[in-house]
Structure 1
Amino acid sequence: MPPTDNQGSFLNRISIRRNQVAYEHEFEDLEQFQKHVADRLSELFHPQDHQDTTANVDPPEALFSIGWFRKLLDIFLCCEAEFKALVIMGRDASNFSKSPLDRLFPEHLDRTVKALDICTALNHGIELLLHWQKLAQIAVDSLQQRPVTEGHVKRAKKALNTLLASIFIDDKENHHHTGKSAPAPASSKDHETIGNLKSLSYLFAKSWSASKQIQAMSSNLAAPRGGEPTGLVVPVYLMSSILVFVMWAMVAAIPCQERTGLGAHLQLSKQFAWAQPMIGLQDKIGEDWKKKEKKGRSGLLEETQRLEKLGMGLVEFAEGFTYPVEADKAEDMAAKVAEMGEICRRMEDGSVPLQLQVRELFHRIVRSRAEALDVLDQVNKIATPVPY
C-alpha cells in the first residue's frame, strides 16, 4: 500500500534528521582532527610548556635535534592516520566528484608523489649522517687514549679532516659556499672516501633539486576561499599543508641534493588555529636556515652543527700538538672530546630510528595514495555513462 501524505512527511522528517545527525557527527570529527593537529604542533613548538615536571620522564628534546625531528615525524604519521580514517576510509566516492574537491584532492595526491622522492633523498642523507658519526667516533676514540701520543693525534686529525671536508663539499654543492674551507685530506684514498660520501647525497640526476621539489609542492597550495564549502576541503588543505611543512623542515635539517633558497618556499594561511604553531615553527626554521645558508653550513640539524664546530676546534689542537700536552690544552681538548662523544652517541642512537621512520613514512604514503586512487577510480566510474 502506498504511503499516505502523513506517512511520507514523517519519513522525510526521519531522513532529514538522520542526515542532520550524520552532518553534526562529521563536523565534530573534523573539528577534533584540526584540534589534534594544533595541539601536537603546539607541543612541538613549546615542548617545555607541555612537560610534566612531576613525572619521571626525559626532558624535552632540543629544537632541531634528531630527537626533535623524530617527534615531528611521529606527529605527521599520527595526523596521516587520522586523515585517512576521516577523509578516505568508507567515504562516498561522490564527495570527490564535486568542486572544489575534484581539483584539490588530485593536487594533494600529486604532492604525495613528490614527497616520495624527498623521502628517498632523506634516507640517503641519513646514511651520510651515519658516515659523519663514524668519522667523529674515530677521532673520539683516538683522543681518549691516555697518554695521547702523536700517533693518536694524527689518526684523529685524518678522520676529522675527512669529516670536515665532506661537510664542506655538501655545503659547496648546496649553498655555493665560497668562504674558508675545511682542511682537505692529502691522500688519494681520503679523496676517494670523500667522493663516496658525496655520492650518498647524489641519488638523483644532478638537475634534481630538493628545494625545487618543495617549491613545486607548495606552488598551488592555497587556503579554501570563504565561498567554498567546508566539509572535506579543510582537512585536505590541512593535510597538504602539514605534508609540505614536514618535507620542508626535514630537507632543511638532513643533507639533501641542492637546497639553495630553501627558506623562502612556504606560504601558509593564518586563518586556522592549527596553522599558528606551524607558522611559528616555519618562521624559526626559515630564519635559522637563512643564517646558516650565508655561512655555508650543512643544514639545521643540531648534531651536525656541533660536530662541525667541535671538529674545527680539535683539528686546530692537532695542528699545534706537542708532546707532552700542556695542562690547560689537555683540559680543553678533553672537554671537546667528551662533548663530541656525547653527540656521536646521540647520532648513533637516533639516526637509525629516524631512518626507519622516513621509510615508514614512504610506505605509509604509498599505501594511502593507493587507497585514495581507488576512491577516485570509483568517482570516474560514477561519472562514466553506462552504454545501452
Structure 2
Amino acid sequence: MMIRVMIAQQKKKMPATTENNHNQGSFLGRISIRRNQVMSMSMDGSHDTECEEMELFQRHVAERFAELLSCTDEPEAFMSIGWLRKLLDEFLCCEAEFKAVLLMGRDPFQIAKPPLDKLLPELLDRIIKSLDVCNAVSFGIDSLRNIQRLAEIVLSALDQTLIGDGQVRRAKKALSALLSAMLHEDKDGGITKGTERSRSFGRRGNKDKDRSAAAPFRSLSWTMPKNWSAAKQIHAMSSNLAAPRGNESSGLALPVFIMNTVLVFVLWTLVAALPCQERNGLGTHFQMPRNLSWAQPITALQERISEEWKKKEKKGTVGLLEEMQKMEKIAQWLLDFADSFQFPAEADKLEEVKAQVEELADICRKMEEGLEPLQLQIREVFHRVVRTRTEFLHVLDQAAKLNIPTS
C-alpha cells in the first residue's frame, strides 16, 4: 500500500504532457488491477501477468523515444531547448513506470534475489554518478544565461534605425566575448570563467533577480572538482552496461537494463547538448544495444547525435543545443560586419543586419522562456532519482531483515 501511495504522489508531481500523463496513468492503473487479480491466481498466471507488464513497459519506452526521433526531421526542433524538455519529460514517465513494474505490490524477496541482487546495486551506483552530471549540466545552463546576456547587449546596440560607430564598437565587444565563451567552454572547468566579465555588461538592478532565479537550485552542488570530466563520468556509467541473456532476458532483469540504458542515454544527450565540464571524446563513450526492438529509436537518436557531436567536437564549441548553433552563426556574421563597418553603412547591408538581429532576438526569447523550466526539470530528475534510490534501498533492507533467522 505504501508503494502505491508513493507512485500516486509521483504522478501528481510529474511535469509530464497530457498525453504522457494519460499513458502513464493507464499503465499504473492496469498494473495495480492486474496485481490485485494475481493474488488469487496460480504462479503461471502471475508469470503471464509479469510478462505482459514488461511487454507494455518496453512498448511505452519505444513509443516515447520514437516520438522524439520523429522530431529529427524538423531541424529547428531537434536538440532545441523544447526538445530537451520533452526528453526529460519522457524520462520521468519511464522512471515512474519502471518503479511500477519492479516495486508495486511485489514481495521484497523477489528483487533481492539473483540476478537483481547484482543488477540493482549497479543501477543505484549509476544513480549516484548521475547526480554529478545533473549538477554539471545545471551549472552549464547558468553559463548559457551569461551568453544570453551578451547577446542581449548586441541586440540593444544594433537594433537601431541608424547604426553608428559607437553602437558597432559596443556590439563588437560583446560579440567577441560571446564567441570566446563558446569556443573555450570546455577549458578550466566550463564557460563560467570565460563569461564572468559579462556581468558588467548586464542591465543594472538585476542582481536581486539573478539571485532569486538561482535560489531554488541551492540544494545542488555548484562546484565541480577541476579534474572532473563529464565524458569520463558518462563512460563510467556505461562501461558495464550489458543486456541480460538467457532466461534473464524475459525476467525482472530486463526492466532494470532498460532503465539503466534510458538513464545513461538521457544524461549523455544533455552533456552533448549543454555546456559541461570536459567533454573530449564524449561521442565514443556510449554504445547502444542494436538488436532490441525497444532500443531501436534510442539507437537511431544516439547515432544521429554522435554524428553531430563529432563534427562539433573538432571546433570545441558550446555544444549541440540548436539555439546555440544558430547564435554562433549569427554572432560570427555580425562580428564580420562590425570588423568591416564604415559609417554610413549601405542600405542593403543594414537590411541584412536587421534580419540577423531579428533572428538573434528570437533565440534570446526562446532562451528566456525555456532555460529556467529546463533547469527545473533537471532539478526534478535529480531529486526523483534520489528518491528512487532511497526506495530501492528501503525494499532491499526490508528483504534483508525478513531473511534474518529468528532465535
Q: Which residue is 2:106 aligned to?
A: 91
1:291 aligns with 2:311: yes
Q: Distance in 2 between matches of 1:148 and 1:256?
A: 36
Give the fraction of aligned pairs with identical amino acids, expressed as a percent.
52
Do 1:170 and 1:298's aligned partners in 2 also have CA atoms closer than 8 Å?
yes
Q: 1:304 aligns with which of 324, 331, 336?
A: 324
* Local SS of the residue matching 1:151: helix
1:65 aligns with 2:80: yes
TM-score (norm. length: structure 2):
0.80
Q: Which residue is 1:319 aligned to?
A: 339
Q: Which residue is 1:347 aligned to?
A: 367
* Local SS of the residue matching 2:365: helix
Q: 1:156 aligns with which of 171, 176, 179?
A: 171
Letter in 2 for 1:243: L
Q: Which residue is 1:145 aligned to?
A: 160
Within a 5 Å distance, the mapping from 1:320-335 to structure 2 comes to 320-335=340-355
Do 2:150 and 2:198's aligned partners in 1 also have CA atoms closer than 8 Å?
no
Within a 5 Å distance, the mapping from 1:1-388 to structure 2 comes to 17-47=41-71, 62-172=77-187, 203-228=223-248, 230-386=250-406, 388=407
Q: Which residue is 2:215 aligned to?
A: none
Q: Distance in 2 between matches of 1:330 and 1:317?
A: 10
Classify 1:62/1:270 alpha carbon distance in 2 versus 1 (closer, same or farther; 3 Å): same
Q: Deviations over 1:338-373 (max 9, x none)?
A: 111111111111111111100011111111111111
> Which structure: larger Rg?
1
Q: Deviations over 1:223-261 (max 9, x none)?
A: 001243622111000000000000000000110111010
Do 1:172 and 1:296's aligned partners in 2 also have CA atoms closer than 8 Å?
no
Classify 1:67/1:138 alpha carbon distance in 2 versus 1 (closer, same or farther; 3 Å): same
Classify 1:278/1:174 alpha carbon distance in 2 versus 1 (closer, same or farther; 3 Å): farther
Question: Can you give the 5+ residue segments of structure 2 that lack an aligned partner in the other structure?
Answer: 1-37, 202-220
Classify 1:189/1:125 alpha carbon distance in 2 versus 1 (closer, same or farther; 3 Å): closer
* Local SS of the residue matching 1:99: coil
* Local SS of the residue matching 1:107: helix
Once the two structures are TM-superposed, the CA of residue 162 in structure 1 deviates from its matched residue by 1.4
Do 1:174 and 1:259's aligned partners in 2 also have CA atoms closer than 8 Å?
no
Q: Distance in 1 between matches of 2:326 and 2:40?
A: 63
Task: Between 144-153 and 249-258, report the one with greater CA deviation.
Answer: 144-153
Query: Aligned residue pairs: how many?
Result: 348
Do 1:66 and 1:354's aligned partners in 2 also have CA atoms closer than 8 Å?
yes
Do 1:119 and 1:359's aligned partners in 2 also have CA atoms closer than 8 Å?
yes
